[in-house]
Structure 1
Amino acid sequence: MTISNHPLWLVGFRPFFALACLAGLSLPMLWALIFSGTLPAPTTTFSSIQWHAHEMFFGFGWAVLGGFLLTSTKNWVNQRGYHGRALIFIVSAWLLERVGMWFEGMLSPAVFRISNNLFLVSIVVMLAWTLIKYRQDDSYRDNYLFLIILPLFLVSKNLMVSSDYFQFGWVMAIGLFRMAFLVMFERTLTQFMKNVFQVSILRNPTLDGSIKLLALSLVFAEPMPTPLASGISLLLALLLIGRFFFWKPQLALRRLDLGIMYLGYLALVAQLLINASNPWLNGAWVGSVSVHVFTFGVMGLVIPAMLIRISKGHTGRKVIFDRLDLWVLRIMILGFITRIVAPQLFPAAYIYWIDLAAMCWLTAFSILAWRYIPYLVQMRVDGREH
């Protein structure tokens, strides 16, 4: 067996979910140690906060999103996905980006730009080419949204390492990830609820389209007049709340493996409401609540559940959350509480809450890495190739 034929390189989710587990257990803890002064900051000309934000969105976040989209797009258009040498190349580019981000201050601007954009440019081109080339076979009519948002991620990531446009960059990043999660919620929860409870949830094309159009506009919330951005955030939150009650939460919340997805949905709504209230409550929160409600509440709650589900299902195993899987989800809920809720109640212990939240990520993703990386590097148990 050659390296390119190894099971790890058969499907996009395999290497990228392994990287996501490693990034999830290490990046928050690294930041906690840097924030407390225990570790020196990376060697960069931009701030350590910019490094942290960039790495959580474009290191951890894009390891997950890249693995998800590389796997999903092949199913959407019924084509063999990128594998072998192509997959090795973009994984290598992701790793190069992590090194470049840590040592940016020691690199020439040109070398840094190449190291910092090679992965995302490559994977965006790959994904867009798949969606465009096989558009006649595409099973989702709204996949054109990915052709819009994927290139915008490149704009966002470069703004995030700029001294003048950092806030513009991370607001864009949240807006783009919000779009991706909204599309994912619509597609996966429709399927999950039908498979588990044999029920249909509300899918109205006008409502769904309006939600995604409003969410797309919020990608550019930063340069908008504050009242306009707040109004759009409030309207989007209200539409999502209204739809939520037609998605049968009374059933989903009976099971943690499904309920965690609904909690992530509610965290997305909460983040929008916080943004809408900023003109009146800005400064009332302890810490950067808005961004962390999204990163801990949406990404932190939903991603582990999706990693478990996809890692089991796409390696030929039954998608059943066992006791340890459920404990991973509980630990991530605890991480949300310690990072978002506890500092509002006991702000004097703020730095300790950050440490505890990082420990939750370290513990949960260490369990995921220990359990699921062995699945990702082995052949499917059902005899299928990929």
Structure 2
Amino acid sequence: MFFAKAASGGIPRGLAESGPAVLSYGFRPFFLLAGIWAVLAMVMWVITLTTSFPAGGALGGVNWHAHEMVFGYTSAVLAGFMLTAIPNWTGRLPVSGLPLLALVLVWLAGRLALLAPDLAGLELSLVVDAAFLPALTVVAMREIVAGRNWKNLKILFGLLTLSTANIWFLASVYLGEDPSAAARLAVGAWVVLIAVVGGRIVPSFTRNWMSRHGNKKLPAPFGRFDQLSVVLLLVALMAWTVAPQGYATAALSCLAAAANFIRLVRWRGYSTTSEPIVLVLHVAYLFLVVGLVMIALSALQIVEYAAAMHVLLIGCVGGMTLAVMTRASLGHTGRPIRAGALATAAYVNVFLAAAIRPLVAVFPQHYYFIFSVSGLLWIFAFAAFTAAYLPILMSPRLSKRA
């Protein structure tokens, strides 16, 4: 049995009396599994490219790789973040213990089903995978509504969009159609979530760090310019989803890139170079800007489509999720919020992976070498995260607060 208790300060959190620590809070199992799967999925993709290993079976190796990077890894991070943030928003107890284990098993079932869909049949495997994001959406909606936390209902639109994109992707594969539009929708949804949520936490964490170090020039507060930046970003990514090529998409992407670059500069991240766990947030957001520029160049057929996709997915989404996982894991387990050597190495490797991957278009004769280097850097990044944070995520919180 799992028993919950309320923490001092009035906000009930966590599991106190029994049960493994890893099931006491959503971030623990899902961040751990995200790190492990980020490594395993990339290892299997590299093996698939270089041998006859049939990752994805009837799904197809390319589709399997795209799906597991866009939906598999990211959905675990999203679950960990949502199941940890919602109790803070609502003051309700977190989903934990057996209900949390059930969600974890649904996510794992999706990974196993798509890795070898021929075993259970392609149709059943697709249904198994498609179940997780809607289940997470229902849980999040129940908690937000029960806690009357109406202002955060908007986060459900992101979850619904990702659920729709995943079902669209799987249906496209099943029907023999191109799933790239569904992948763009999902990556776009992630980028908008980063712009919205990151637009709150990046300047907030930066302001806190700068205040502690006596810096009087603090990040600009959230205002109308931030709202304009997010709107321009949303419009540009919608255009990219529907029409990845064309002058309109290129122009909108350039406008969104310029606005979000100014937004980033206003957060004064260049003053945080001595603290990697803060700086990484700004670098990840910079890759959002670079990704938008790459979308514009791709829309004009100057660079390949995959270059823009990988810059956004590896540098922006991968970098920001890694930043959030490292920071939240420390804060919610009662540890000092500082990046150790392994975490810092993880940051550097994931950004190098994002920077190197587009070079395939410049040096196509070295495709396999460049891809292998980028893949290895991704593997090193998440292997470092997993090695550093496995004992933290598996162990009880250091203080009484859960």
Fold shared by both chains (TM-score > 0.5):
yes
User: 1:99 deviation in Å?
Assistant: 1.3
User: 1:108 deviation in Å?
Assistant: 4.1
Matching residue of 2:8: none
**Equivalent residue of 2:312, what SS?**
helix
**Structure 1 pair 174/105, CA: closer, same or farther in 2 (3 Å)?**
same
Q: State the AA in 2 paired with 1:223.
A: V
Matching residue of 1:326: 344
Alpha carbons 2:295, 2:305 under 8 Å: kept: no
- Relative contact order, higher structure (CA 8 A, sep 6+): 1
Matching residue of 1:36: 50
**Structure 1 pair 37/171, CA: closer, same or farther in 2 (3 Å)?**
same
Matching residue of 1:242: 262
1:100 aligned to 97, 101, 113, which one? Answer: 113
Gaps of 5+ in 2: 4-17, 212-216
Distance in 2 between the 1:306 and 1:134 partners? 24
Q: Which ranges of 4 or more aligned residues in structure 1 deviate by more than 4 Å?
A: 1-4
**Structure 1 pair 59/279, CA: closer, same or farther in 2 (3 Å)?**
closer
Gaps of 5+ in 1: none
Alpha carbons 1:176, 1:219 under 8 Å: kept: no
Matching residue of 1:261: 281
Alpha carbons 2:294, 2:303 under 8 Å: kept: no
Of the structure 1 ranges 327-336 and 174-183, higher mean CA displacement relative to structure 2 is found in 327-336
Matching residue of 1:145: 154
User: 1:220 deviation in Å?
Assistant: 6.0
Distance in 2 between the 1:97 and 1:285 partners? 34
Alignment of 1:1-386 (within 5 A): 5-44=19-58, 46-108=59-121, 110-136=123-149, 141=151, 143-161=152-170, 162=172, 163-198=176-211, 200-217=218-235, 218-219=237-238, 221-224=240-243, 226-280=246-300, 282=301, 284-285=302-303, 288-341=306-359, 343-384=360-401, 386=402
User: 1:63 deviation in Å?
Assistant: 0.8
Distance in 1 between the 2:242 and 2:353 partners? 32
Alpha carbons 1:264, 1:302 under 8 Å: kept: yes
Distance in 2 between the 1:191 and 1:204 partners? 10
Deviations 1:344-383 (A, max 9, x none): 5533221112112222222222222122111111110112
User: 1:260 deviation in Å?
Assistant: 2.0
User: 1:6 deviation in Å?
Assistant: 1.5
Distance in 1 between the 2:306 and 2:42 partners? 15
Q: How many aligned residue pairs are there?
A: 377
C-alpha RMSD of matched pairs (Å): 2.3
User: 1:76 deviation in Å?
Assistant: 1.7
Alpha carbons 1:173, 1:219 under 8 Å: kept: no
User: 1:291 deviation in Å?
Assistant: 0.6
Distance in 2 between the 1:113 and 1:47 partners? 13
